[in-house]
Chain A
Amino acid sequence: MDGSEINSVNNLPSAEILECPKCGSDLRLTGFLLTKNIACGKCHSLFAYANGNLKVIKIFKKEKKKHNHIPIGTKGTIDGRKFEVVGFANYREANTPYAWDEYTLFNPIHGFTFLSVYEGHWNYFEQTILRPRPQGGDVNLNGDSYRIFNRYKQKTDYALGEFPWDISENPSTITEYINPPHILAHDKDTNEETWFLGRYITPKEIKEAFNLQSHFPEQTGIGSTQLHSSAASLSKVKQITLYVVLSMLVLQIILSISARDKIVFKDQFNIPGNQAGGIVSPPFELENTLFGKSNLQVELIAPVHNSWMEADITLINDKTGEEFHFEQGVEYYSGYEGGEAWSEGQNYTDNTLSSIPAGKYHLNIFPATPPDGGPGYFQLKLTQDVSMLSNFFITLLIALIFPIALWISISSFEAQRWMNSDFSPYSYE
């Protein structure tokens, strides 16, 4: 047999039918010489198979049997290879309640492979001759690091069909290492050690592979090898985020350098004794720009000390009559209390007006000071087209919202994954 005849599901070799020595029912033999154990689904006996002989080695309790969602004898294709489901076993981590099911698949060319399901999450395993390199407590296979996830002894609760080794007694220790969606399982006993390489496989993929319509177990929690739905995009998102941050930095530098920073008005005004009196500034010009608008920074300086000054200011376009009204004030207080000097406020404030059209303007200013005195004068400085760092930080924050949310989501996903591990790098308080 060179494998060329295994070119369709229907061409898998037919099983030989044996008679159960205990109950007389039919036992399928598909793996022939490779089969070591056969379990009868009717009398629940497990037989050692060798040289055509069946020898009973264990009888399972039938109440331990769980439903097999893929019937024995079902044929299907995984990774382009034809397989037949030949065995089904319910395993348990010794001395714990953690239990999982495993389907044994057989192909006469590729041998036995396995579908394992725990809490609705499936992994597809193949035996590998590759030997991973130890890396601390972890292992490395072909340059990929696999982190230790679990170590346990396996116990068989129930079995049905055929198996390539003795499943009645399993003194070996199994260690699982993960690099999602891949997994390495190391099975070691006193005489030999075997490595299995597995990968996460979705229920949909299995149903399609075996053409099944049946209902599979509900998924709970995060599978040991399950990938976050956006995990594949994470490296691209990291790269894009880096480019965006760098582009924004370069843009901000260019915009800061190219900002005109043109002082269009600077004057000092005496505050009228009559508080109701207003001040009309001399006219000034805001130059035209590419889009006809620019920002305008208003700086107010007043020599306040333990006092305040506030100005109600209106910027008026002399041609259109358009007005921009705002209030701006300064306050400064200081003293000495409890042996310590203190101060709060300052005698300077600035305010940036947004999108002011070019044109000729003047200011109407109504200053206000405390009744018991205040500064006698104040200064106003208006600068057209200043660099706006606040816009840079707001844009940066918005651009980073998604990458940060994605990072939080993946971190939380990873923390949940490792909750099932005795080797979790996370601490769960």
Chain B
Amino acid sequence: MFNLRNYLIILGIILSVYVYAALTGWKFFGSNSEKWSPTQEKGHHK
């Protein structure tokens, strides 16, 4: 059965993630960059 309290909690989480993404430049889908850092295994990237 539907629980209004749980629904409000989920909505709160969704909105928080949305604001966090806006503040950190996190794009949910569509960004096609491949990340590599020197701490990763060598040879991963050309």
- Please give the residue numbers on chain A whose beta carbons come within 8 Å of chain B beta carbons, in ascending order: 229-230, 233, 236-237, 240, 244, 247-248, 251, 255, 289-291, 293-296, 315, 320-327, 351-356, 385, 388, 390-392, 394-395, 398-399, 402, 406
Q: Which residues of A contact B7 (CB under 8 A)?
A: 237, 240, 402
Given A236-B4, A294-B25 in contact, is the A391-B35 Cβ separation under 8 Å?
no
B32 touching A390, Cβ below 8 Å = no
| Contact sample, A vs B, 10 pairs, CB 8 Å cutoff | A240-B11, A294-B24, A295-B31, A322-B37, A323-B45, A327-B32, A353-B27, A355-B26, A390-B30, A391-B26
Residues of B within 8 A of A (CB): 1-2, 4, 7-8, 10-11, 14-15, 17-19, 21-38, 45
Which of B4, B19, B28, B35 meets A233, CB within 8 Å? B4
A322, A391, A406: the one within 8 Å of B21 (CB): A391
Contact of B33 with A353 in the complex, beta carbons under 8 Å: yes
| Bound CA–CA A51/B7 (angstroms) | 63
- Are B28 and A390 in contact, CB atoms less than 8 angstroms apart? yes
Task: Assess whether A244 is in contact with B31, with CB atoms less than 8 Å apart.
Answer: no
Assuming the A-B contacts A229-B2, A230-B1, A315-B33, are A391 and B38 also in contact, with contact meaning beta carbons closer than 8 angstroms in the complex?
no
Residues of chain A within 8 A of B33, CB atoms compared:
315, 324-326, 351, 353-354
Whole-angstrom distance between the alpha carbons of A251 and B17 in the complex? 13
A395 contacts B18, C-beta separation under 8 Å: yes
Q: Which residues of A lie under 8 Å from residue B38 when comparing CB positions?
A: 320-322
Question: Cβ of A251: which chain B residues have Cβ within 8 Å of it?
Answer: 15, 18-19, 22
For A290, list chain B residues within 8 Å (CB).
Answer: 23
- Kindly list chain A residues whose C-beta atoms are within 8 Å of the C-beta of B37: 320-323
Which label, helix, strand, loop or mixed, suits the secondary structure of the B interface?
mixed
Q: Interface residues of A: mostly helix, strand, loop or mixed?
A: mixed
Q: What is the bound-complex CA distance between A255 and B26, given in angstroms?
A: 13
CA distance A325 to B23 in the complex (A): 23
Q: How far is the CA of A240 from the CA of B7 in the complex (A)?
A: 10
The complex places the Cα of A326 from the Cα of B31 at a distance, in Å, of: 9
Cα distance A354–B15 when bound, in Å?
Answer: 19
Contacting pair B34 A326 (CB below 8 A): yes
CB < 8 Å: which of A255, A324, A355 contacts B34? A324
- A230-B1, A236-B4, A323-B36 are known contacts; what are 10 more A-B pairs with Cβ within 8 Å? A244-B15, A293-B26, A295-B25, A322-B35, A324-B33, A325-B34, A325-B45, A354-B27, A356-B25, A385-B25
Across the interface, name the chain B residue whose C-beta is closest to A386.
B25
> Which of A236, A240, A321, A352 is close to B27, meaning CB atoms less than 8 Å apart?
A352
Docked Cα-Cα span, A402 to B2, in Å, equals 10
A244-B11, A390-B29, A402-B7 given; A291·B23 CB < 8 A: yes
The residues of A that contact B36 with a CB separation of less than 8 Å are 322-325
Q: In the complex, what distance in Å separates the CA atom of A355 from the CA atom of B17?
A: 14
Chain A residue with the shortest CB-CB distance to B2? A230
Can you list the 5 inter-chain pairs with the closest CB atoms, starting with the nearest?
A: A295-B25, A230-B2, A354-B31, A294-B25, A354-B27
Query: Which residue from chain A places its CB closest to the CB of B12 in the assembled complex?
Result: A244
Query: In the complex, what residues of A have CB within 8 A of residue B31's CB?
Result: 295, 351-354
List the A side residues contacting B35 at CB < 8 Å.
322-325
With CB as the reference atom, state the residue of chain A lying closest to B17: A395
User: Do residues A391 and B18 form an inter-chain contact, with CB atoms below 8 A?
Assistant: yes
- A391 to B16 CA separation, bound complex (whole angstroms): 12
User: Which B residues are CB-close (under 8 A) to A388?
Assistant: 21-22, 25, 27
Contacts of A392 in B (CB 8 A): 18
Chain B residues with CB under 8 Å of A353's CB are: 27, 31, 33
A255–B23 Cα distance when bound, in Å, is 8
A247 to B19, CA, bound (A): 11
A291 and chain B: residue at smallest CB distance: B24
